[in-house]
Amino acid sequence: MNREQMRKALREATVAAFDDAIGSLAGERLYAVALTTDDGAMSPGLCVTTVEHYEAKRSEADAADVLASPGYDAYLRWDTAEWRDELAGWEHFEPISEALPEESDDADGWFEEHIDALTAALAHLRAERAEALAGVTLFVSVTDSDETEAIENRSARALNPPELTERFLRRYES
């Protein structure tokens, strides 16, 4: 699979996984969607979360008396590991993930190219599913990376209207 084929497959997988995930929400209100990868750019995946899921996690955290910890509420709201569906529709991304190791070592700048491809896939998703994504924050995240916040912020700026972008960029402020 060449890189352009990979980008096309990523766009298609993102829409298909989103459609599967949205079908399972049963009336829950979506507020964020992210494409994630690891620091080696080897495994793209879709994550989605809802207001109801966040509120339930927040209630659990409140009962455990951990909400007072600085930044914990933002962690519950914005860290994809705490979301309703982490790696939703994995079967759509699996062929891409299997092809990535062949592609990832062949040129400098692969990681940035991969992040750009994930951002483009989310832009395509927003265009294709505009009505379902009205008021929903989109961004790209990277697990276990020192660059995660910068990548999330850069992608959020590229993918969201100003009101969503500004709220997202202020997510760690008290």
| Strand, helix or coil for residue 45 | strand
Which band of pLDDT confidence, cut at 50, 70 and 90, is reported for residue 107? low
- CA-CA-CA-CA torsion sign (19, 97, 150, 146): positive
Residues 117-134: tens digit of each pLDDT: 999 999 999 999 999 999
pLDDT at 39: 79
Domain boundaries, the chain: 3-169
Strands (DSSP E) along 51-165, which ranges? 85-88, 137-143
| Amino acid at the residue 14 | T
Question: What's the average model confidence in pLDDT over 22-43?
Answer: 90
State the chain's mean pLDDT as an integer.
91
